[in-house]
Amino acid sequence: MSNTPIKYFINPEVKVENNAVEELHRLLEVNETIVTLQKHSPDYFDDQDAGVLEVAITPDFHKGSGIPVGTTLFTRGFVLPQAIGNDINCGMRLYVTDLREEQIRTNLDAIERNVRHVFFEGGRNIPMTRQMREKMFKEGLIGILDSHKEANGEGIWRYYNEKQQELDLNHVNKMGSFIAESTIGLDDFLGPAELSRDAQIGSLGGGNHFFEIQVVKKVHQGSIASQWGLKEGQVVLMIHTGSVSIGYNSGAWIKEMLKKMYPTSLKHPDNGMYPLPLSERFEPQWRMFWSLLYNAANFAFANRLMLGLMMYKSISDVLGDFEHRLLYDAPHNYLWEEQLEQVGGFLHRKGSCTAKSAEQMMGTPFQYTGEPVFIPGSMGSHSFILAGLGNRDSLFSASHGAGRALSRGDAVKVDDDRFREFLANFRVINPIDPKRADLRGRSDILKKWEEELKKEAPYAYKDITPVIQSHVDHGMAEIVAEVAPIATVKG
């Protein structure tokens, strides 16, 4: 068993599953892999003290796929690409509007029709040239800012305000822009020189991804809420998604590269985790990794931006123009180079938000408030907007949700009465409209629709209240506002 210190930031009321703990300990066998590699090839790592130095566990901790969700690692001398998953830069974006709850509720049927058309029925209309896509992959939101005029204001670009987007860069982690050397494995996606449309940009993806129209129900911290423009009764728009298939493309390239690097005379790691050393010997692989990572991360930032514009179109076509101001956008599946007590290393986050203090956010719009943290509850339940407190022991981390209580397979088996009660009290907008007359005889389609919703229904997740209280009690973040769903868009 690894001797890496593991710190849990979880109150007793939050259940911790044994299978998540077991998965974490299997992951930390990477330290044994490092020792094996050093014995086999002394120059494999430039830093002979390479290893996982610290682990912090957030309150939404639960089993994942190779690494538990709610895990933050600090490594020295190497990165562990698989520790952030394939949905690279899965993250959250939140817009503050000047709309009131009643404006949405009284027009919800019309808004739902627009959302379904724009999000799922070919109405997104995001034309891009090859150069625009290349700039997006290589430079992120700054690349889009520099190249957007090539779209001539067509389609969704009609809603792209250059001046506002430039200001918004300060409201995105790392300005939503990582500078990549190249685009690897993306030639087909880059498309032709002239304007064309693709199926990826502006897509929510599946699983627990969503776009939610919410209302601020309660302000807990008036001073910060005022600085962030949050008031009770106000509508906000919350997005949770990532790099979708682009991230999986990068992940596949990275995993293949790591396997090829591994010495052929050694047995491959039982946990399937391959370290990528910070090493002169592997400089080409190191550079390739960062390009692949940055391509996917930049796409995810752009994807959330486009989804925000798509929702603006969907609502404004019904209600007219409205204020649509970005509060913050940040990843919870990513890794950053970090200096902790004069030790240089890498922070890996899998389903954990960055929650830095006001002091750590100096030079940003959040230098007097701390970093915004968005923790959604399960579909249909309240979500929370918090401000980071920069807890060093937690590696400046917070949860990215409530955490699953049931696997997706078990959630499908829950009795229908409980599911019907949920549907009766909540508006879900997804590609299938079960009220359509032509679907009444299609039990196969309706059954599939029902199963997909059951996987993400409220009873599949832990209660959000003790999860949030854990953050308060452990000094990770303070509650700013509580928001409730009006409607949720699911892919």
**Cα(461)–Cα(452) distance, rounded to whole angstroms?**
15
Please give the span between the terminal C-alpha atoms of the chain, in angstroms, as a whole number: 40
Element (DSSP H or E) covering residue 385: strand 383-388
Q: What is the pLDDT of residue 450?
A: 73
Q: Could you give phi then psi for residue 303, rounded to 5 degrees?
A: -60, -45
Q: How far is CA 56 from the centre of its chain?
A: 18
366 by Cβ neighbours in 10 Å (0-12 / 13-18 / 19+) ranks as buried
**CB count in 10 Å sphere of residue 408:** 15
Q: What is the pLDDT of residue 444?
A: 74
**Cα(318)–Cα(321) distance, rounded to whole angstroms?**
9
Query: For residue 189, what are the contacts with CB-CB under 8 A and spacing of at least 6?
Result: 133, 198, 200, 246
Q: Could you give phi then psi for residue 387, rounded to 5 degrees?
A: -120, 130
Q: What is the pLDDT of residue 206?
A: 86
**Cα(249)–Cα(253) distance, rounded to whole angstroms?**
6
Pairing of strands 333-340, 276-277: unpaired
pLDDT digits (tens, 9 = 90+) for 427-437: 889 877 667 76
Alpha-helical runs (H) found in 148-243: 162-168, 187-190, 222-227
Give me the torsion for CA of 420, 426, 428, 432, rounded to 10°. 40
Active site residues: 400
Q: What is the pLDDT of residue 93?
A: 99
Output the CA–CA distances (angstroms, integers) from residue 191 to 9, 140, 160, 186, in the order listed.
Answer: 46, 17, 22, 9
In eight-state DSSP terms, residue 430 is -
**Cα(187)–Cα(383) distance, rounded to whole angstroms?**
39
* Residue 95, strand partner residues: 237, 326
Q: What is the pLDDT of residue 246?
A: 96
> What b-and-e string marks burial along 198-222, b requiring 16 or more CB atoms within 10 Å of the CB?
eebbbbbbebbbbbbbbbbeebebe
pLDDT digits (tens, 9 = 90+) for 115-152: 999 999 999 999 999 999 999 999 999 999 999 999 99
**Cα(81)–Cα(297) distance, rounded to whole angstroms?**
13
> Tokens 């409730």 identify what position?
484
Q: Tell me which residue of 423, 431, 410 sits closest to 379, measured CA to CA.
A: 423
**Cα(24)–Cα(36) distance, rounded to whole angstroms?**
20
Enumerate the known binding-site residues.
87, 208-212, 240, 332-333, 376-379, 383, 400-403, 490
Q: What is the pLDDT of residue 415?
A: 66
Q: How far is CA 405 from the centre of its chain?
A: 20
Sign of the Cα pseudo-torsion (309, 107, 103, 426, in order): negative
**CB count in 10 Å sphere of residue 187:** 9
CA-based radius of gyration for the chain:
22
Say whether 170 sits in a helix, a strand or coil: helix
Enumerate the known binding-site residues for GMP.
208-212, 332-333, 376-379, 383, 400-403, 490
Q: Tell me which residue of 327, 313, 254 sits closest to 288, measured CA to CA.
A: 254
**Cα(94)–Cα(97) distance, rounded to whole angstroms?**
10
Q: What is the pLDDT of residue 5?
A: 95
Q: How far is CA 346 from the centre of its chain?
A: 19
Pairing of strands 91-100, 324-331: antiparallel
Enumerate the known binding-site residues for Mn(2+).
87, 209, 240, 332
**Cα(490)–Cα(376) distance, rounded to whole angstroms?**
14
Record the pTM: 0.94
Q: What is the pLDDT of residue 111?
A: 98
- The answer to whether the beta carbons of residues 250 and 295 sit under 8 Å apart is yes
In eight-state DSSP terms, residue 28 is T
**Cα(424)–Cα(406) distance, rounded to whole angstroms?**
22
Say whether 371 sits in a helix, a strand or coil: coil
Regions of the chain with pLDDT less than 50? 1
Check whether domain 6-104+205-277+308-405+461-489 has CATH 3.90.1860.10, yes or no: yes
User: Residue 297 is encoded by which pair of tokens?
Assistant: 């991360």
* Domain parsing of the chain, residue ranges: 6-104+205-277+308-405+461-489
User: Residue 57 is encoded by which pair of tokens?
Assistant: 């566990």
**Cα(392)–Cα(411) distance, rounded to whole angstroms?**
36
